[in-house]
Chains A and B, each alone.
Chain A
Amino acid sequence: MPTTGTPTSLSQGSRTRGGIGESTLRPDGTLKVTGEFAYSSDMWHEDMLWGHTLRSTVAHAEIRSIDIAEALATPGVHAVLTYDDLPAPVKNYGLEIQDTPVLAHGKVRHHGEPVALVAADHPETARRAAAKIRVDYAELPVVTDEASATAPGAPLVHEGRGDHHSGHVPHPNIVHRQPIVRGDAGEAAARADVIVSGDYVFGMQDQAFLGPESGLAVPAEDGGVDLYVATQWLHSDLRQIAPVLGLPEEKIRMTLSGVGGAFGGREDLSMQIHGCLLALRTGKPVKMVYNRFESFFGHVHRHPAKLWYEHGATRDGRITHMRCRIVLDGGAYASSSPAVVGNAASLSAGPYAIDHVDIEALALYTNNPPCGAMRGFGAVQACFAYEAQMDRLAAALDMDPVEFRQLNAMEQGTLMPTGQPVDSPAPVAELLRRVKARPLPPEQQWLVAGEEADVRALPGGLSNTTHGEGVVRGVGYAVGIKNVGFSEGFDDYSTARVRLEVIAGEPVAVVHTAMAEVGQGGVTVHAQIARTELGVAQVTIQPADTRVGSAGSTSASRQTYVTGGAVKHACEAVREKVLERGRRLFGTYHPAWATAELLLEGGKVVTDAGEVLADLADVLGDEAVELELEWRHRPTEAFDLRTGQGHGHVQYSFAAHRAVVEVDTELGLVKVIELAVAQDVGKALNPLSVEGQIQGGTTQGLGIAVMEEILIDPVTAKVRNPSFTDYLIPTILDTPTIPIDVLELADDHAPYGLRGIGEAPTLSSTPAVLAAIRNATGLELNRTPVRPEHLTGT
């Protein structure tokens, strides 16, 4: 009995050309609307067991003992595993620092840390057996913020650190610290006519992807394991899984299952190692599916942050300098905290030309839940604060907030705080102009045909809390800058295998990469690139797995750039081989084979003048042309650990928002009426998908503005709201219309001139909404999300 739910190839033909620049439809669309698309939680195998994770009920404790006897004796239970059962000398994993125990050893460092595993024949049996495991915790004092983490005698979250950041951090409870100094902020401050400073607080956001962590591990006859899982980067998972299983990487065959969203939350491992351990121990396939409660503990969150900013400006509206300090809470394990610190520091000045900066960003180790990647990755927190500062500076100068931003906006050629020049278009002022020029939605838009109030269009909605009484409108603007791709010298490559062959008389391109399709539409774009480069109508996208080289992560807005670039590169090389073959076979029939620029179009070899030389099918015959090639973008370099100088980034992405809100000032309820956005995408490979990314990113920014926050008890460091009942994400009623203005200013360094787009709209959405609420209420509002009590003062 084979595994069901195994991903299959997606084949798509296109009656039109279906190349880049067209809004071709998703090749997986039909499967997804019929319910047949197999997500990782849909996998099924005969005889499979269900795995369950026992997680710590306290944040920081010594584990005195673990008693599994009763759990193991439960009928239907096949295995109970603890740290003592780990098979290899390597017991920890981690993206950058291997500080995360596969199962807790002697100590837990945060609420919800995995302690033991159970495999049973029914998920409820596994859950109930896990509840019978008796763990004797001796609670330890917790560190929860900078003050408690760096106080004299503070408990160390990790004793005896030896990682590559431990040598330069000022305290062992600081994961990584990145200062950036350029110019002379002190001297420049003396020239400022106005100086504004502020403290800002950014709450902990959850990715809240809808498909909870899940996967199926199937033990193989060679002693290895086949793992079907939803992840963002198969090869990164593999690199972390193999050592703790004590297996060579080639004995762990990973296949991407259907992924129900990611947004950064699947960059770290969740059930991967646990499922494999249970499968290898029991000799049976093991499926693990987190429920929503567990999902809140099963992945890292967006770093909450405390930020202090100071800006100065001259009376004519020029920014003199910026000083800031950004403290990110990394929680109990490092995850991607060091890279988040690098982003927060290097992007802390925003899309502005500021010659004199003094910047410090750091991430703490605390006993709060681990934080890592989420859409926007360090740039989001900074944007919230610097955009608030821009409005305050403009107000202090009595200037229009948009004009003030435009006056200081960076352009192509502007130096980043890191000394790196921005060497592609940076239309910051233009994006702001575009959102500002858009007509405002009508006043009192809740009045239906000028008569009755439709409560659905008012703050409070169907709760029927107002018919317009006490409702005031506000408008706010924000703009942001996000880096694209992995930075700071990381070898950020991707791999594509492309085959061109004739099937049933028609040329077909087969594209195989390990790119994680998480919903963003990478599979759509790969098919478009293959059609454009190889001139075929039919493209088959093979399932992503580890039988092909790494594609890197589906994060950092990088996949269309990097794996798209790899597919383009491989297609070009395949095309060249096909043309060589054509010259060899048919070159003597027509001189153009030797003299003209040749293209593949419409299933034919044509000259650049459009003359048809041969059918592709005839050139290929029975032979397939196949190549697997790696592709890299321009290299980057590390930031200097003292000055922060260095060409650390590949590309930048810019978006601007205008938010229009209506606030019920009596109840503190906010209704966002419209979130207009303008974004430069370089080149829209698929305009429909571009819009989807921009609207989705904008909505996640709206969520952290007015709704979303994981609440941590400050005394116990326990998570208080791990459910969709208590952690609210925007519904269709909370989300406004999102009109979009897309610019396409090519970046000459990137494939087709494209720009990574997924994250930028998440940055400026939040501060635009905050600015609009401030505009409506006159309140200072230095924290996000804004809750009713912040507006009513109650």
Chain B
Amino acid sequence: MRVNFTVNGREQRADDVWEGESLLYVLRERLGLPGSKNACEQGECGSCTVRLDGVPVCSCLVAAGQVEGREVLTVEGLAEYAGNRAAGGGASVPGAATGEAGAGAARPGTAPHPGGSGELSPVQQAFIDAGAVQCGFCTPGLLVAADELLERVPSPSDADIREALSGNLCRCTGYEKILDAVRLAAARQEETV
């Protein structure tokens, strides 16, 4: 089947999608967006977290056909998305800012990374600065979830952070530096307001 949807603000079309394929598979293997990670395929680990029409979901549990006509935000588009939000674009997914990156089924490995402006979002920078990244496999999902939390709750309590990130497993850090990173991103966000 053919699936048309928007990824990181750009129209995408995937052809020859098998009905059993997940959104995660289409992103990784058909659209050349491997940032979302596959670690459990059961919705337990959160490594594949993306936003579907703004809502954080495990993309491994979303059938590709379900995203027809909808908007997906992945870690690859996070910096641009956060930049637009900070610039007053509200919480909407950014429009096709730099044209059609993937008209037609982009070949994996050849598609440029949409949104690669070089600027990191506050939560991405905070993850680096706070030491929240070790192996980094959980990081993309955590970033998408943490960014969504900070959009909703600009100054979250520790309990809020823990609750919001409880669907994202990390095996390296013991989570302390991840908490530090979200606190840091929140503090920096406040400074800039």
Enumerate chain A interface residues (CB-CB to B < 8 A).
1, 4-5, 23, 25-26, 28-30, 32-39, 41-42, 44-46, 122, 124, 207-212, 258-263, 289, 291-292, 454, 456-457, 462, 518-521, 688-689, 691-692, 695-700, 723-725, 729, 731-733, 735, 737-738
**CB interface residues, B 137-193, toward A, < 8 Å:** 137-140, 143, 159, 161-163, 165-179
Pair B42/A732 contact, Cβ less than 8 Å: no
Alpha-carbon distance between A289 and B33 when the two chains are bound, in angstroms: 17
Q: A210 and B20: CB pair below 8 A? A: no
Cβ-defined partner of A212 (8 Å) among B34, B39, B75: B39
Q: Are A733 and B34 CB-contacts (below 8 A) given A34-B120, A692-B134?
A: no
A-B contact sample (8 more), CB < 8 A, given A207-B171, A208-B171, A260-B39: A33-B120, A33-B133, A34-B120, A35-B34, A692-B177, A698-B174, A724-B42, A731-B167
Answer whether A35 and B76 are a contact pair too, CB < 8 Å, given A210-B39, A738-B174. Answer: yes
Q: Are B20 and A124 in contact (CB under 8 A)?
A: yes
Give the distance to chain B from A684, nearest Cβ to Cβ, in Å. 13
With A692-B177, A733-B166 known to touch, is A210 a contact of B37 (CB < 8 Å)? Answer: yes
Give the distance to chain A from B34, nearest Cβ to Cβ, in Å: 4
B97 adjacent to chain A (CB < 8 Å): no
Task: Report chain A residues within 8 Å CB of B167.
Answer: 731
Q: Which among A44, A262, A729 is the interface contact of B169 at CB below 8 angstroms?
A: A729
Of the A-B pairs whose beta carbons lie under 8 Å apart in the complex, a sample of 24, sorted by A's number, is A4-B108, A26-B128, A28-B136, A35-B76, A35-B113, A36-B76, A36-B113, A41-B38, A44-B108, A122-B18, A211-B135, A260-B137, A263-B171, A695-B176, A695-B177, A696-B174, A697-B174, A698-B174, A699-B173, A700-B171, A723-B40, A723-B42, A724-B39, A724-B40
A699 CB to nearest chain B CB (Å):
4
B-side contacts of A259, CB under 8 Å:
135
- Interface size bracket, B side: 35 or more
Q: Which residue of B lies closest to A686 (CB)?
A: B131
B36 within 8 A of A: yes
How many angstroms from the CA of A41 to the CA of B39 in the assembled complex? Answer: 10
CB distance from A497 to the nearest CB of B (A): 25
Q: For residue B5, which residues in chain A have a CB less than 8 angstroms away from its CB?
A: none
Chain B residues near A262 (CB-CB < 8 A): 135
- A457 and B133 alpha carbons, distance in the complex (Å): 26
A691 to chain B, nearest CB (A): 7
Contact present for A731 and B135 (CB under 8 Å): no
The CB with the most chain A CB atoms within 10 A, among B143, B166, B174, B175, is that of: B174
Q: Does B74 interact with chain A (Cβ within 8 Å)?
A: yes
Q: A210-B137, A211-B135, A518-B135 are in contact. Are A691 and B166 (CB under 8 A)?
A: no
Bound-state Cα–Cα, A454 to B159, Å: 9
User: Cβ of A696: which chain B residues have Cβ within 8 Å of it?
Assistant: 134, 171-174
Q: Is B6 an interface position by the 8 A CB rule? A: no
Query: Counting CB contacts under 8 A, is B124 at the interface?
Result: yes
Q: Which residues of A contact B35 (CB under 8 A)?
A: 34-36
Knowing A210-B170, A732-B175 are in contact, say whether A30-B39 is a contact too (CB < 8 A): no
CA distance A691 to B133 in the complex (A): 12
B99 within 8 A of partner (CB): no
Answer whether A261 and B172 are a contact pair too, CB < 8 Å, given A34-B75, A291-B41, A732-B162. yes
- Which residues of A sit under 8 angstroms from B113, Cβ to Cβ? 34-36
Contact with A along B98-140 (1 / 0, CB 8 A): 0000000000110001001000100011011101011111111
Residues in B with CB closer than 8 Å to A42 are 28, 34
CB of A692 within 8 A of CB of B40, answer: no
Q: How far is the CB of B1 from chain A (nearest CB, A)?
A: 15
- A210 close to B163 (CB less than 8 A): no
Q: Would you call A34 and B128 a contact (CB within 8 A)?
A: no
Cβ of B46 to closest chain A Cβ, rounded Å: 9
B93: min CB distance to chain A, Å: 17
The answer, yes or no, to whether B47 is at the interface (CB within 8 Å) is yes
**Distance in angstroms between the alpha carbons of A383 and B165 in the assembled complex:** 32
Task: Judge whether A209 and B171 touch: CB under 8 Å.
Answer: yes
CB atoms of A692 and B138 under 8 A apart:
no
Chain B proximity of A80: nearest CB distance (Å): 21
Query: Closest CB-CB distance, A743 to chain B, in whole Å?
Result: 19
Q: A260-B39, A723-B44 are in contact. Are A692 and B129 (CB under 8 A)?
A: no
Q: Which residues on the A side are within 8 Å of B120 (C-beta)?
A: 30, 33-34
Main secondary structure of the interface of A (DSSP, over half): loop
Chain A's closest residue to B164 (CB) is A732
Known: A25-B129, A292-B42. A732 touches B168 (CB 8 A): yes
Which residue in chain A gives the minimum CB-CB distance to B137?
Answer: A260
Give the distance in Å from the alpha carbon of A737 to the alpha carbon of B183 in the complex.
Answer: 14
Given contacts A29-B128, A34-B124, A698-B174, contact A210 B134 (CB under 8 A): no
For the complex, give the distance between the alpha carbons of A691 and B131 in Å.
Answer: 9
Q: Which of A33, A39, A456, A733 contacts B127 (CB 8 A)?
A: A33
CB-defined contacts of B135 to chain A, threshold 8 Å: 209-211, 259-262, 518-519
Pair A29/B133 contact, Cβ less than 8 Å: yes
Min distance, Cβ B180 to any Cβ of chain A, angstroms: 10
**CB closest residue in chain B, given A33:** B124
A34 to B116, CA, bound (A): 8
B57 in the interface (beta carbon within 8 A): no
Of the candidates B20, B36, B40, B74, the one having the most CB atoms from chain A within 10 angstroms of its own CB is: B40
Instruction: Determine the distance from Cα of A699 to Cα of B134 in the docked complex, in whole angstroms.
Output: 14
In the bound assembly, the distance between CA atoms of A698 and B113 in angstroms comes to 37
B29-82 interface (Cβ within 8 A of A): 32-42, 44-45, 47, 74-76, 78-79
CA distance A209 to B39 in the complex (A): 9
In the complex, are the beta carbons of A210 and B173 less than 8 A apart?
Answer: no
Set B127, B162, B163, B177: member contacting A691, Cβ < 8 A: B177
| Complexed CA–CA distance, A162 and B165 (Å) | 52
Complex: A261 Cα to B34 Cα, angstroms: 17
Residues of A within 8 A of B129 (CB): 25
A37 to B44, CA, bound (A): 23
What's the minimum C-beta distance from A721 to chain B, rounded to whole angstroms? 12
A725 vs B74: C-alpha distance in the bound complex, in angstroms?
24
The CA of A291 and the CA of B169, in the complex, are separated in Å by 16
Within 8 Å by CB of B171, from A691, A692, A729, A733, lies A729
| B165 touches which of A25, A26, A732 (Cβ 8 Å) | A732
Q: Which of chain A's residues have a CB closer than 8 A to the CB of B34? A: 5, 35, 38-39, 41-42, 44
* B15: min CB distance to chain A, Å: 14
Please give me the residue from chain A that is nearest to B35 by CB atom: A35
A470 to B172, CA, bound (A): 33
Q: Which of B41, B47, B75, B163 lies in contact with A456, CB distance below 8 A?
A: B163
Is the CB–CB distance between A32 and B108 below 8 Å? no
Contacts of B37 in A (CB 8 A): 39, 41, 210-211, 260
Q: Which residue of A lies closest to B121 (CB)?
A: A33
Residues of B within 8 A of A208 (CB): 171
C-alpha spacing A738/B137, complex, angstroms: 22
Residues of B within 8 A of A5 (CB): 34, 109
Q: How far does the Cβ of B51 sit from chain A's closest Cβ, in whole Å?
A: 14
A25 neighbours in B (Cβ, 8 Å):
128-129, 131
Contacting residues, chain A, for B45 (C-beta < 8 A)? 210, 292, 724
Given known contacts A26-B128, A210-B170, A696-B172, is B109 in contact with A44 (CB within 8 Å)?
yes
- Contact status B162-A35, CB under 8 Å: no
Q: Which residues of B contact A698 (CB under 8 A)?
A: 174
**For the complex, what is the distance from the CA of A44 to the CA of B106, rounded to whole Å?**
14
Shortest Cβ gap from A13 to chain B (Å): 15
Which of B38, B116, B134, B162 is the one whose CB lies under 8 Å from A520?
A: B134
Who on chain A is nearest to B44 by CB?
A724
| Shortest Cβ distance from residue A352 to the other chain B in the assembled complex, whole angstroms | 27
Scoring B34, B35, B168, B179 by chain A CB atoms within 10 A of each residue's CB, the highest score goes to B34
On whether the beta carbons of A695 and B79 are closer than 8 Å, the reply is: no
Cα(A689)–Cα(B40), bound, Å: 27
Q: How far is the CB of B57 from chain A (nearest CB, A)?
A: 17
Q: What residues on B are CB-neighbors of A44 within 8 Å?
A: 32, 34, 108-109
Q: Which residue of chain B is the closest to A517 with respect to CB atoms?
A: B135
Kindly identify which residue among A258, A692, A725, A737 contacts B172, using a CB–CB cutoff of 8 Å.
A692
Residues in B with CB closer than 8 Å to A454 are 159
